[in-house]
Structure 1
Amino acid sequence: MSHSPQSRLNTAAVQRRTVWTLAAAQVFSGLSAGSTLTLGSILAVQFAGAEVWAGASNTAVTLGTACTAVPLSRMALRTGRRVALASGLCGAIVGTVLLVYAVIIQSFPVLVLGSFGVGVANAVNLQARFAVTDLARPERRGRDLSFVVWAITIGAVFGPNLVAPGAVVAVALGLPSSAGAFLISAAGMIVGCAIIWWGLRPDPLLVRAELDADGKPVSGSADASSAGGWAVCRRYPAAAAVMVVMAGAHAAMVAVMTMTPVHLNHESATGTAEAGTIGLIGLTISLHIAGMFALSPIMGWLTDRVGAWRTALGGLTALLVATGGAAAFSHHTLLVISCLVLLGVGWSAATVAGSTLLVETLPAEHRVAAQGFSDAVMSFAAAAAALAGGPVMAVAGFPGVAVVAAAVSLLAVGVAARFAAR
């Protein structure tokens, strides 16, 4: 199907609007990720009374992402990206309110339920990176995708540091100090939802469908169920390999990241760390999240220029070094923080390159189905890693968690190396 110069001009204008709208929304919706990471593990131990439950909150977050990734993709196919993304953020707002309530009544089950709701925001953020590729030119997919991923940096880095200002807000409202960070996160998600609802017009996925299918209904383009995603994997081995790479990177990163706040808190209590306050934990998570997102435009540029498989392989190698370093130097706080930053950088390279590959290796009619399925696989892998982190930490300590994460990273390196060599 041929398009006039005016049609191409309009498409380019829609793409620019899509990029900036999604980037702006990510700034605000990203606040929830950092604050939940900082407080979730500590509150879980506090409310449950046992360190074995340290990973419960982040497990619930990743399960929330995993269980809603495919439904959000199906909704996108039926109604477009705008409705799907905005609906997901509405669910996440409810989850954040539940976290506030959990702190008030000091309830472990409500904490887990609220964390599950916050996980929907992560599913929205993951889907947003694919939404920006709907109308992207092939030679700019990596950069457009990485710019939207980069926008999360602002909100996600500030999120872990909302504990102190949030405490002031909470005390002023007569609430427990730990509830304040979640209140600010809820406000950020409300703003992000409003930006998407009013800014993502026209809808990029609906425009893409009109360009590719002469205006046929989007719902008829693919099966976005889990079965449909599995069928795509079986038909396209390269796409399946990409999913393995991203799932491995995500699981390794989440396992170490989830247990780091508990480890630093424990090191402070035993007097073996240089510092172990909540402030240091917040700073550590902020630096880690900065590693995850701040350099993503560079990862997008490398993906477009060097090649997606090579960029993914480089990121996985960084993950392997970071997890190994965390295991070897677990009692040196500054080195642990450095490993957490490198862990984030490696995840960024693997995820940006992998997300771009998932678009490049599939025809348009199968992309949305594969995207939702891939996000679900990633999140279920991360949920398993977070859930296993608590028992592994209880038995083998933080070094044991890092060693397991290193083994997962090594498996992903092998898969990426095979395809990068082709």
Structure 2
Amino acid sequence: MAQSNVKINSKNVKYNIQDYIESVDKQNKLYRKTLIIIIISQIFGGAGLSAGVTVGALLAQDMIGSDSLAGLPTALFTLGSAAAAFIVGRLSQRLGRRVGLTAGFFAGGVGAIGVIIAAILDQLPLLFISLFIYGAGTATNLQARYAGTDLAGPTQRAKAISMAMVFTTFGAVAGPNLIDVMSKFAESIGVPPLAGPFMLASAAFLLAGTVLLIMLRPDPFIIAKGIAEAQQNRPGHAGQGQAAPQITAANKRGIVIGATVMVLTQIVMVAIMTMTPVHMKSHGHGLGEVGIVIGIHVAAMYLPSLITGVLVDKLGRTTMSYMAGLTLLAAGLLSALAPADSMLLLTLALALLGLGWNFGLISGTAQIVDATTPSTRAKTQGSVDVLIAIAGASGGAMSGAIVAHSSYTTLSLLGGILSLLLIPIIVWERSKRQPR
């Protein structure tokens, strides 16, 4: 077998890629080990991302004194997420998942600390800058789902994505339900109550980064690149001796469809989710009730992942993308029609919102992985996640303005209608494909 040109001789990395290239058993063991490490980091990362989702808008509302800019925090940390997705993707492509993901989580932890300081000092500029940096943790938590697919086979990819996502649920659900506890703790030490959840976020993101820094060795992406290169140079291979294959026209179509699915589902989910806490608070619901609704919403975003992964692998990426559009439509309609004082209907609406997002993210992510090779995969994934983050930022920014100038009902109806665009867009794009 041809020797791989990829060598790891650093004193800090004590493994030989060739050993993994020559042993399928070692590849499988590393695949399983990687999933376990990603799962551990996702538990912490999930707790970190839920703070901004749950109380970011409320904190800004208190400091600004206006509902019209309540969507700005989501827009800021989502824009920060976009910048981080690009950087983490490039770092992962060049240096491996361990370096890229660790850097992203550490940045998110620093941003959360900045939010706490801004709340104490009542400094809006610092709050906005810190929320932007905090977004790095959100982007990294999302990008970690790709690490589980690096050594997965084509029929394992959606399940690998779902394994990474489902364990985010434990932290992501615990976070909103610890709002009261963290708020009271913050108040007891002289910190504004709404900054309390960001204390949890800072510790969670830093722990997630530490887990990856210490445990993610060997790096699955570096191994995957070595395996792909060895296969490319194998005698008799059609591309022997050539440079690593770039993205083809057919693959670009797959990337376009996967990105479109994730972008539209992100816009709808973020827009409705962002303004739900503000809508509930303005109608007399307390922080505890807000935490329950958002906690169930986040659970629906991640907990069904194992079943979704199996369905995506069995029924196909396209079928589950259609299901994402229909589920988000149901969520938008129920959010619009539910009485503001009905905890049950609001909870159900937000649960459907999370489930539709789950369908869209896993089916879209699987299409992106299918359409890329290790030579371009991480940076392509990072670029797609930039689009997702920008979409979320747009949804968050527009949501506050729509509610301020119209109503939460209008916002929910618009979100439901927008989600339906998934179906004609996918049908149109698929009709453009040339027959094999």
Q: What TM-score, normalized to structure 2?
A: 0.88
Which is helix-richer, 1 or 2? 1
Q: CA deviation at 1:368?
A: 2.0
Asked if 1:285 is matched to 2:301, the reply is: no
1:232–1:92 CA distance, 2 compared to 1 (3 A): farther
- Deviation per CA, 1:232-287: give whole Å up to 9, x if none: 7897223112211110001000000000000001111xxxxxxx011100111000
What letter is aligned with 2:198?
A: F
What letter is aligned with 2:194?
A: S
Match of 1:406, SS state, is helix
Looking at structure 1, the residues matched to 248 and 379 of structure 2 have their Cα atoms a distance apart, in angstroms, of 8
Say which is worse superposed, 365-374 or 348-357, in terms of deviation. 365-374
Report the RMSD for the aligned CA atoms in angstroms: 2.3
Match of 1:206, SS state, is helix
Asked if 1:350 is matched to 2:366, the reply is: no
Q: CA deviation at 1:118?
A: 1.7
Say which is worse superposed, 112-121 or 143-152, in terms of deviation. 112-121
1:174–1:318 CA distance, 2 compared to 1 (3 A): same
Match of 1:382, SS state, is helix
Looking at structure 2, the residues matched to 252 and 296 of structure 1 have their Cα atoms a distance apart, in angstroms, of 19
What residue is the counterpart of 2:8 in the other structure? none
Q: CA deviation at 1:330?
A: 4.8
Asked if 1:75 is matched to 2:85, the reply is: no
- State the percentage of identical aligned residues: 29
1:394–1:88 CA distance, 2 compared to 1 (3 A): same
- 1:135-284 equivalent positions in 2, closer than 5 A: 135-214=151-230, 236-268=252-284, 276-284=285-293
What residue is the counterpart of 1:64 in the other structure? 80
Looking at structure 1, the residues matched to 252 and 402 of structure 2 have their Cα atoms a distance apart, in angstroms, of 35
CA contact (8 A) 1:32 1:118 kept: no
What letter is aligned with 1:358?
A: I
Asked if 1:12 is matched to 2:28, the reply is: yes
Say which is worse superposed, 404-413 or 83-92, in terms of deviation. 404-413
> Which residue, 385, 389, 394 being the options, matches 1:375?
385
What letter is aligned with 1:378?
A: I
- 1:89-104 equivalent positions in 2, closer than 5 A: 89-104=105-120
Asked if 1:327 is matched to 2:327, the reply is: no
What letter is aligned with 1:108?
A: L
Looking at structure 1, the residues matched to 157 and 58 of structure 2 have their Cα atoms a distance apart, in angstroms, of 39
CA contact (8 A) 1:247 1:377 kept: yes
Looking at structure 2, the residues matched to 285 and 167 of structure 1 have their Cα atoms a distance apart, in angstroms, of 16
1:176–1:199 CA distance, 2 compared to 1 (3 A): same
Looking at structure 2, the residues matched to 410 and 373 of structure 1 have their Cα atoms a distance apart, in angstroms, of 24
What residue is the counterpart of 1:307 in the other structure? 316
1:195–1:31 CA distance, 2 compared to 1 (3 A): same
Q: CA deviation at 1:175?
A: 2.5
Match of 2:361, SS state, is helix
Q: CA deviation at 1:307?
A: 0.9
CA contact (8 A) 2:325 2:421 kept: no
Q: How many aligned positions are there?
A: 405
CA contact (8 A) 1:330 1:399 kept: no
> Which residue, 47, 65, 69 being the options, matches 1:31?
47
1:420–1:324 CA distance, 2 compared to 1 (3 A): farther
What residue is the counterpart of 1:415 in the other structure? 425
What letter is aligned with 1:288?
A: H
Looking at structure 2, the residues matched to 232 and 402 of structure 1 have their Cα atoms a distance apart, in angstroms, of 38
What letter is aligned with 2:136?
A: V
> Which residue, 285, 291, 305 being the options, matches 1:296?
305
- Deviation per CA, 1:347-392: give whole Å up to 9, x if none: 1011111101111123443322321111001110110111011110
Say which is worse superposed, 398-407 or 54-63, in terms of deviation. 398-407
Looking at structure 2, the residues matched to 233 and 20 of structure 1 have their Cα atoms a distance apart, in angstroms, of 35
Structure 1, gaps ≥5 residues long: 224-230, 269-275
Match of 2:375, SS state, is helix
What residue is the counterpart of 2:7 in the other structure? none
Q: CA deviation at 1:6?
A: 5.8
- Deviation per CA, 1:374-411: give whole Å up to 9, x if none: 10011101101110111100111101111221232011
Looking at structure 2, the residues matched to 215 and 165 of structure 1 have their Cα atoms a distance apart, in angstroms, of 54
Structure 2, gaps ≥5 residues long: 3-17, 233-242
CA contact (8 A) 2:149 2:157 kept: yes
1:144–1:157 CA distance, 2 compared to 1 (3 A): same
Q: CA deviation at 1:418?
A: 4.7
1:233–1:340 CA distance, 2 compared to 1 (3 A): farther
Match of 2:323, SS state, is helix
CA contact (8 A) 1:309 1:420 kept: no
Q: CA deviation at 1:107?
A: 2.7
What residue is the counterpart of 2:409 in the other structure? 399
Looking at structure 1, the residues matched to 345 and 164 of structure 2 have their Cα atoms a distance apart, in angstroms, of 30
Q: CA deviation at 1:111?
A: 2.2
- Deviation per CA, 1:315-350: give whole Å up to 9, x if none: 221011111221122534421221110010111011
Match of 1:138, SS state, is coil
Looking at structure 2, the residues matched to 158 and 412 of structure 1 have their Cα atoms a distance apart, in angstroms, of 32
Looking at structure 2, the residues matched to 97 and 12 of structure 1 have their Cα atoms a distance apart, in angstroms, of 39
Looking at structure 2, the residues matched to 65 and 58 of structure 1 have their Cα atoms a distance apart, in angstroms, of 10
CA contact (8 A) 2:224 2:374 kept: no
What letter is aligned with 1:117?
A: I
Looking at structure 1, the residues matched to 424 and 295 of structure 2 have their Cα atoms a distance apart, in angstroms, of 30
Q: What TM-score, normalized to structure 1?
A: 0.90
1:384–1:330 CA distance, 2 compared to 1 (3 A): farther
- 1:128-139 equivalent positions in 2, closer than 5 A: 128-139=144-155
- Deviation per CA, 1:87-135: give whole Å up to 9, x if none: 1111111100011112212233222222212210111112111111110
